[in-house]
Amino acid sequence: MSYQNIVIEYADHTGYITIDRPKKLNALNKETIKELHEAFKEMDLEEEVRVIIITGSGEKAFVAGADIAEFADFDAKEGKKLAAKGQKKLFDFVAKLSTPVIAAVNGFALGGGLELAMACHIRVASDNAKMGLPEVSLGLIPGYGGTQRLPQLVGKGKALEMITTGGMVDAQEAFSHGLVNHVVSSQEELIVFCEKIADKIARNSPLAIASAIKAVNANYEAAVNGFDVEIEAFGNCFGTKDFTEGTSAFLEKRKPKF
Which sequence positions are flagged as catalytic?
115, 135
Half-sphere exposure of 215 (CA within 13 A, CB side): 17
User: Interface with ligand COA includes 110 (CB under 6 A)?
Assistant: yes
Interface pick for ligand COA out of 27, 53, 103, 183 (rule CB under 6 A): 27
Nearest distance from C-beta of residue 222 to ligand COA, angstroms: 25
- DSSP letters for 181-196: SEEESSHHHHHHHHHH
| Candidates 66-74, 88-96, 156-164, 198-206; binding stretch for ligand COA (CB under 6 A) | 66-74
User: Interface with ligand COA includes 56 (CB under 6 A)?
Assistant: no
Q: Which CA distances in Å does 174 have to 53, 106, 108, 192, 197?
A: 19, 13, 12, 20, 19
Q: Please list the residues that pair with 169 across neighbouring strands.
A: 131
In the complex with ligand COA, which residue's Cβ is closer, 109 or 122?
109
User: Interface with ligand COA includes 100 (CB under 6 A)?
Assistant: no
Alpha-carbon distance of 111 to 144, in angstroms, equals: 8
Alpha-carbon distance of 94 to 99, in angstroms, equals: 9
Alpha-carbon distance of 4 to 140, in angstroms, equals: 29
User: Interface with ligand COA includes 141 (CB under 6 A)?
Assistant: no
User: Interface with ligand COA includes 69 (CB under 6 A)?
Assistant: yes
Residue type, 18: T
In the complex with ligand COA, which residue's Cβ is closer, 27 or 117?
27
Nearest distance from C-beta of residue 44 to ligand COA, angstroms: 27
Cα end-to-end span (Å), the chain: 28
User: Interface with ligand COA includes 111 (CB under 6 A)?
Assistant: yes
Q: How many CB atoms lie within 10 A of CB 28?
A: 26
Alpha-carbon distance of 77 to 98, in angstroms, equals: 32
Interface pick for ligand COA out of 15, 86, 100, 134 (rule CB under 6 A): 134
Task: Supply the DSSP symbol for 73.
Answer: T
Contact 65, 134 (CB under 8 A): yes
| Candidates 43-51, 73-81, 132-140, 225-233; binding stretch for ligand COA (CB under 6 A) | 132-140
| Candidates 39-47, 67-75, 151-159, 227-235; binding stretch for ligand COA (CB under 6 A) | 67-75
In the complex with ligand COA, which residue's Cβ is closer, 144 or 193?
144
Residues in the chain: 258
Nearest distance from C-beta of residue 96 to ligand COA, angstroms: 23
User: Interface with ligand COA includes 108 (CB under 6 A)?
Assistant: yes
Binding site for ligand COA (CB under 6 A): 24-25, 27, 64-69, 108, 110-112, 134-135, 138
